[in-house]
Each structure stands twice: as C-alpha cells, then as structure tokens.
A and B are shown apart, each in its own frame.
Chain A
Amino acid sequence: MLSNYLKLALRVLTRRKFFTFISLFGISFTLAILMLSISALETELGSNAPLSDRQEMVFLDRLVQKNMEQDTTMLVDSSLVDGIMKFDTTYTHERVNKGTSISSFGLPFLQDHVADLDVAEKYSFYATGETFNSFVNETKVEIEAAYTDHRFWDLFDFQFIEGRPYDEQMVNSGATVSVITEKLAQRYFGTTKNLLGREVEMAGKSFKIIGLVPEATQMLLQSDMFVPSSTKAGYPGSRDEYYGRYAAAFLARNGNTDLLKHELNKVAESIPANSQFNAFMLQGKTSKELYANQMMYSEDPESAARWMTFFVFALLSLFALLPTLNLVNLNVSRIMDRSSEIGVRKAFGAQGKDLMAQFVFENIVLTVIGGAIGLLIAIGLIYLINDARLMESLVLQVNMRFFLYSMILVLFFGILSGLLPAYRMSRLHIVNALKQNRS
C-alpha cells in the first residue's frame, strides 16, 4: 500500500509542477529559517562542550543587597458618621527596603560564603567581560579576558587543541600563564600553530601561552584569553565589600539543581550585614534562567525562563503557522481537484482512514522533499553566517541533534498541513465526488 502511495505522490508532484514549485518553495524556505533558529538555540542552549553538564549546573551571577529598616507608617481613614467626620488612624510597624544594590561578586565574598556548599560537586569562581587593548606591530588587538581559578577547567570541558590548563599551584603563585582561543591566536599571531611558550601582552603583563582551545560557541563562556585570577589587578579584593566582578558556577550533586538553589538561599540568610546592607539574596540560576534573566530582568528567574521558553515557542509557532495555513489552503484546492479520484476510491472500497492515510502520506513526501531542500539551504546559510561572522560572537553549529530536531519539525509540518484537507476530503460524499468529470 505504501509503495503505491509513494508512486502516486511522486507522480502527482511531477505532473503538477507549478503547485509543487510553490509548495516546495514555501516549505523549504520556512524550514530553512526555522532550522536556522533551532541551530542558534541548540548552539547557545544545548549541552555542547565546554558546557556539556549545563543541565546539572547552577550559576550565581548577581548579588542582591538590601538595606532593610524598621519603619512605621501611619494611615488615616476618615468616614462621615451621623453627620460627624470620624478619623481612624492605623500605625504599621514593619521592615521596609530603603535601598537595593545589584552587582556581581567580590572574590573574597564567594570564597567566604559559597566555596563549601554541601550540594555542589564542583565549583568555579571567575570574572569575564573585561576588555583590554594590546598592540601587535602597531595594530590594535582587542582581548576579552577571563580571570578564573584552576577549578574552572574541571567544571567546563574545554577541548584542548594543544597544551593544558593552569593548575592550583600556578593560580596560587600568581603565574602569568594563559590559555587562549584559536580566534585570538589568529588575530594576535596570524596563526594557530606552534604557539605554546609564546607570550601575549595584556594589561601591562606578558602571559605565557600554555594551552590553546577553540572558541566557546556559547556567549556565557566567550572570552579570548583565560588567565589565573591571581594575576588580576587588586587581587583578591576587599573582604568588606561584597561586590566585585566575579561570578560563580556550580555542578549540582546528582544533578539536583533545586537543592543547590535552596542551599544558596539558606546561605544568603546567614550572611552578616556590612556597612551599607543587611539583607542579601543569592539567586542560583540554571543556564536557561541565566539567559532569560539577561533578556528580561525579573526577581524570579524561573518565571523569566518560563516566559522566555513561551516567547521563543510562540514566535517559532507563529512563523511556522503562516506557511502551514497557506499550505493547507493549497492542499484543499489540490485535493478537491482530485475529487473524482476520491469518489472512485470510495466506490471501490476505500474507507475514510485509507484516504486520510494516503493524502497525509503524500503531504509528508512533499514536506520531506521540501525539508531536505530546506536543510541544504539552512546548512549553506549557517556556513555563510559563520564564515562572514555575521552573528559576531555566535558560531552556529550543524550537528546530529540539529538534524533530529529538523526532521521532527518537517514531519510535524507535513502531518499538520495534510491532516485538515485530508479529513475534509475523506468526508466527501461519493456521488458528489464522482460528479467531477476527469479521466
């Protein structure tokens, strides 16, 4: 039966060239754009190195400090009783927030409060996002540096092309060593070969290269050069000031991120007051929540993540819905054009479900062909985008998961756009269907 359907589907497609062209054009371009979106999401949010364990990680990027003070508010309520104005005064004694500060962390603060969490299997403290200018042969090279501890390399699985990461002893001794990305190597030296032992000038210091890694595709870890945190000016920083440039990442024991977040909340309650603030919040975030929070700040990162997921799916669904509706419309007229065939098939014993299966199958064949073309277009676009570095820091990837998502998308598209017309057609009255005269 299926081979028969396939034969017929291919015949119909080759015979109705214009319809086929219009359909394939719509399907392939829509799918190409959707696949490109999936690729961007997968590259940024999927579990790829160096963030392979991201589903089990909790990130701590902001310290919320509040100055809570006991305050009294007076509320006067008036009402007219028997022509006489009566006043009712209420005093409320409560702790109110007199000032909030949100910032990243000072390194000593992290070391003092979150270095020994029960639920954290691994952790790392690091500062990213500082940019320095270096000059190579009188040409400016901008370097985005990350100051990290040695645990950084255990937590994030960077794939070393050459060399190795720095160890605890190097960090403790303030060794001016570095791990650089291929991207920086290319910009700084014009090559990615034989770089171990050479030096990069940054922030007035010379850092010896001991490792070479590919650039991380995820924005979260996109730095050009990684150096020990002990080489940072002003290291380690004041114990009294809680804020600084650092963030923390933890690997939750047994992947239990909720428990880890809970432990962070508990730690926050026990943080002693400093000169300005007396109440603190340590909001641990999953990687998804971290992204969502960067896009829309919310006191509740979980709700921000839910909104982001909803927003992304709504946007993609809307984008998929328009061509699907168009395709449904095209399919209805295409199938109704074949009503004589439907009448004949029913007369000779086809049931509604047989016809549904046939027309949905035909549509799946059409969308799979469209999907294959769309996939080729998407791959082409990804290479073009990466090559021209159109998305600056984001390097899009094509991988097996990307193919899988794309195929699911194609099948969903095929079934959705075929189902409604197939259902309508299967309900067609035989006698009416046969009145369409075609041979």
Chain B
Amino acid sequence: MISIQNLSKVYRTKTIETTALNNINLNVPKGEFLSIMGPSGCGKSTLLNIMGLLDEPTSGKVEIDGQSMPNYNSKSVARFRNKQLGFIFQSFHLIPDLNILDNVELPLLYAKVNRKERKRLSEEALESVGLRNRMQHFPGQLSGGQKQRVAIARAIVGKPQIVLADEPTGNLDSSMGNEVMDILLRLNQVLETTIVMVTHDANMAKKTDRLIRLYDGTQIQ
C-alpha cells in the first residue's frame, strides 16, 4: 500500500544542515496496522508527514497504492489526500468555530459531496466513535478523549484507505488512550483500513501488527 525507497529528509538553514531521515526503506501492505516508535526528534513525525504527502522528501521515492507523488503541493495531490488519506493529530486540530458535525464534514466538503450526503456520512462516522449525541456541540465543550474521537470520525468519514495517526493518545490519560486505541483497532480490523501510527507508548504499539523504531533519522528495527 505504501512503499518508501531510499528516503531522506534534510533541513537546511544558512548555517546548519540537519538530517531528519536517513535512507529509510519501508513497505506497508494493505490492511496493516504499523506503529513507529523512537525518541523525540528522531524523525517519526517527519516520516509520517512525508507518507501523508504533507511534506516532501529531500531524496528518495514514496509510492502510495502504486502511484508516486512528484509535487506535494499540486491539485492532484490535494485531491489524493482528500480521497485516500485520513489524518489524526496529537493535538486534535479541530476547528473551534465549527460544531462537531461541521468539523467531521470537512473532508467531504472538499470532495464536493452534497449537503444531505455529508450529513448522513458524518452522523455515521460520529456514531462509530460513540459521539452522535454531541454533534451540535463545539470542540471547547468536549473532553480530550472526546475531541480525539471526533478527530477519528473526521479522519474516517471519507472512507480513506489509509489513516495516519501522529501520537493519537499522546495527550490523553490511559483510559481515554485505550478507548481511542480500541476504535483504531476496530477500524483496522473491520474496515481493513491501513493505519500508520506514531507513538511513544510501548503498550499501544504492542497492540499493532508491526513496530518499527527510528533513532536519529535511521530505522533501527
């Protein structure tokens, strides 16, 4: 599903050059739940961003579903992200001025889905994370766990093939973290969605199909 070959990412300023990722090779088959672990600053999030076409590699190749993406800023990549990818962020990134339903609808808005269908699919997604009764609330009225469940609903509402989660339980206590993890596992098992998750939590990582570790931008396991 995701194929990464000889991928490197180097950040350059006038005075310093920092290698965030160094020659990474990775294959994620369809339906796999992969977790990525490593100390802070080792390049986990950078790798996830590149897999999600949010950032460009300095060298190397990323193929998703057999397609390589030459220009991450193009219209076709925006469309591809919209249709094929879902994102979950550690700090939720819900839009505070929109209610829960409108937040979840967001990917469908850019997919040009009509209003009625948007509402139906969003309610369905919120139902699957147990928050249908909160759809008229605003993010500020929800707990951290609930916010992350809304973020999951937003990530899956367009039925993407791949969900990329950047420390989805990082800002949650263990019981809320487990709750969120259970939803992701169910998503992976029931809908066979490919999930790549960056985490610091070994217990969460254990629940996934495979774990890779990064250290100073290099894959060590």
| Interchain CA distance A192-B60 in the complex, whole Å | 90
Contacting pair A7 B102 (CB below 8 A)? yes
> Within the complex, which residue of B54, B95, B139 is in contact with A347, where a contact is CB–CB below 8 Å?
B54
Contacting pair B98 A349 (CB below 8 A)? no
User: Which residues of chain B come closer than 8 Å to A344, judged between CB atoms?
Assistant: 87, 89, 93-95, 106
The size bracket of the interface on B is 20 to 34
Contacting pair B98 A11 (CB below 8 A)? yes
Contacting pair B91 A349 (CB below 8 A)? no
User: Which residues of chain A come closer than 8 Å to B102, judged between CB atoms?
Assistant: 4, 7-8
Contacting pair A351 B78 (CB below 8 A)? yes
User: Which residues of chain B come closer than 8 Å to A345, judged between CB atoms?
Assistant: 106, 110
> Within the complex, which residue of B55, B83, B110, B140 is in contact with A431, where a contact is CB–CB below 8 Å?
B55
Instruction: Output the residue of A11, A340, A347 with the most chain B CB within 10 A.
Output: A347
> Within the complex, which residue of A3, A348, A439 is in contact with B110, where a contact is CB–CB below 8 Å?
A348
Question: Counting CB contacts under 8 A, is A350 at the interface?
Answer: yes
Interface SS of B by simple majority: helix
Report how many residues on chain A are interfacial, defined by Cβ distance under 8 Å: 26
Contacting pair B106 A430 (CB below 8 A)? no
Interface SS of A by simple majority: helix
Contacting pair B139 A349 (CB below 8 A)? no
Question: Counting CB contacts under 8 A, is A437 at the interface?
Answer: yes
Known: A430-B54, A431-B54, A439-B139. A348 touches B96 (CB 8 A): no
Question: Counting CB contacts under 8 A, is A121 at the interface?
Answer: no
In the complex, per-residue mask of A1-28: 1 if CB is within 8 Å of any chain B CB, else 0: 1011001100110010000000000000
Question: Counting CB contacts under 8 A, is B149 at the interface?
Answer: no
Contacting pair B93 A349 (CB below 8 A)? no
Contacting pair A348 B97 (CB below 8 A)? no
| Interchain CA distance A7-B49 in the complex, whole Å | 31
CB distance from A31 to the nearest CB of B (A): 26
Contacting pair A343 B82 (CB below 8 A)? no
In the complex, per-residue mask of A319-358: 1 if CB is within 8 Å of any chain B CB, else 0: 0000000000000000000001101111111110010000
Contacting pair A437 B91 (CB below 8 A)? yes
Known: A8-B97, A439-B96. A1 touches B55 (CB 8 A): no
**Measuring CB to CB, which residues of chain B are less than 8 angstroms from any residue of chain A?**
49, 52, 54-55, 75, 78-79, 81-83, 87, 89, 91-98, 102, 105-107, 109-111, 115, 139-140, 147, 154
- 18 A-B residue contacts at CB 8 Å? A7-B98, A7-B102, A8-B97, A344-B87, A344-B89, A344-B94, A348-B82, A348-B106, A348-B110, A348-B154, A349-B83, A349-B107, A350-B110, A351-B75, A431-B49, A434-B93, A437-B91, A439-B91
